[in-house]
Amino acid sequence: MSTALTKQELHNLAMNHVGKDLENRGFEFIAINSKLKKHPQFVCMDANKQYFFVIVKAVVLPENANNYDVVWMESFKAHAGEHDAKVLYAGVGLGNPNGEDLPIYLNEEYLIEYNGIQVLETNLN
């Protein structure tokens, strides 16, 4: 019998996709935190030594992975600013290809909706 992924395992799956994207973009990883509700998930640095705090959000499709809590994000952006870091957001939607009411199972195919990394401006407010 197939085992459904837990929320932590879904989060880890999303982090793996985002981590590969960051790596392909040339970011150097400073710290990685894969625990749910602990932010940021990645602390990275680019070639210019600019720090980035990366938030990864995994959702089950059809929920929109690009939506986030704007009020919470403002406080997080302030935190990043205190560390001279920029904020990146990566929403990842995951789903079962056999129906949106079915869970995502361990070691089975899954749908992914990932629109890439969004830069969130920290100096607008």
CA–CA dist 12, 36 (Å, integer): 9
What's residue 123's pLDDT? 63
Give all domains of the chain, ordered by start, each with its CATH number: 7-95+113-120 (3.40.1350.10)
CB-CB contact of 114 with 93 (8 Å): yes
CA–CA dist 79, 96 (Å, integer): 36
Residue 125, pLDDT > 70, answer no
pTM: 0.91
Which residues, including other chains, have CB under 8 Å from residue 19's CB and lie 6 or more apart? 29, 32, 42
> Tokens in use for 85?
């870091």
Mean pLDDT of 90-107: 95
CA–CA dist 39, 4 (Å, integer): 25
pLDDT confidence bin for 115, thresholds 50/70/90: very high
Residue 96, pLDDT > 50, answer yes
